[in-house]
């Protein structure tokens, strides 16, 4: 069975600085997707970034980028130039053959002014 | 973008009554929708997968007779909590899968907070 592990329950970063959130996963599948979702205090889940496992190039969306290490089964999220609006719970998720998402336990990120 | 709505956003009901929550994909057709439950400061727990025109698939431990799911069209799925009890109080979130965005990309509704008195 697939598992997703986020080992950082809480993190804090100063505004305008860079922070990296960690995520590791375990699977025997070769073709899958990985996601980072953001859940701000409003509790609306927002897709931040998506990575296809067959692509070697790391996905980037503006200030958000990932470091995808397939062999190590690692999928970290880097947020550059952190903004107050980035304060949220961040969930790493695995999407495989079952079409279901397996979520990690989340990392609560606080951006300090 | 891909917009998913949920209604109602909040509901308070008495113990023993039933509550229906609607999930709609507003600008795309979703053959598959998902229902999650989230406890405070916890991750999302998948309750069931809803496929248009067929019976929902429930996760282990989820009572199918208590949490009735109907997916009558490509844009609407409903979750009915039957004979609700205080322990059913929670935050319920739906999502819809949009194939054109890549396999398994789910877009989420804003959630429904259910409080059972």
Is the pLDDT confidence value at B104 over 70? no
How many Å separate Cα A73 from the centre of its chain?
Answer: 13
A-B CB pairs within 8 A amount to 58
Length of chain A: 113
Q: How far is A102 from chain B (nearest CA, A)?
A: 9
Q: Which of A44, A101, A106 sits opposite B104 (nearest CB)?
A: A101
Task: State residue A84 phi and psi, 5-degree precision.
Answer: -55, -35
Q: Which of A50, A91, A108 sits opposite B102 (nearest CB)?
A: A50
Report the chain A residue with the minimal C-alpha distance to residue B57. Answer: A100
Are the beta carbons of B97 and B30 closer than 8 angstroms? yes
Residues B6-51 pLDDT 10s: 999 999 999 999 999 999 999 988 889 999 999 988 999 999 999 8
Q: Which of A21, A14, A3, A8 has the alpha carbon at shortest distance from A79? A: A21
In the block, tokens 């727990």 appear at B45
Mutate to test the interface with A, among B23, B34, B43 (most CBs of A within 10 A): B43
Are the beta carbons of A92 and A104 closer than 8 angstroms? yes
Residue B58 CA to residue B47 CA, distance in Å, equals 6
Average pLDDT of A59-77? 97
């Amino acid at each position: 069975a697939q598992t997703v592990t986020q080992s950082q329950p809480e993190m804090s970063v100063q505004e305008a600085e860079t922070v990296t959130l960690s995520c590791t996963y375990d699977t025997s599948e070769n073709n899958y997707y990985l996601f980072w979702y953001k859940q701000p205090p409003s509790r609306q889940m927002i897709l931040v970034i998506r990575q296809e496992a067959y692509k070697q190039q790391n996905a980037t969306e503006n200030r958000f980028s990932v470091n995808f290490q397939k062999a190590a089964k690692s999928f970290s999220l880097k947020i550059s130039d952190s903004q107050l609006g980035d304060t949220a719970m961040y969930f790493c998720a695995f999407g495989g053959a079952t079409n279901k998402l397996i979520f990690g336990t989340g990392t609560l990120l606080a951006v300090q002014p | 973008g891909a917009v998913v709505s949920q209604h109602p956003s909040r509901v308070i009901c008495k113990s023993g009554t039933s509550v229906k929550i609607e999930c709609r994909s507003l600008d795309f057709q979703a053959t598959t929708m998902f229902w999650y439950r989230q406890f405070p400061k916890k991750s999302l727990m998948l309750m069931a997968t809803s496929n248009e025109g067929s019976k929902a698939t429930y996760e282990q431990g989820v009572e199918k007779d208590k949490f009735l799911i109907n997916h009558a069209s490509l844009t609407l799925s409903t979750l009915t909590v039957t004979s609700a009890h205080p322990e059913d109080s929670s935050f319920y979130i739906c999502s819809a899968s949009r194939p054109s965005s890549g396999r398994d990309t789910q877009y989420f509704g804003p959630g429904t907070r259910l409080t059972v008195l």
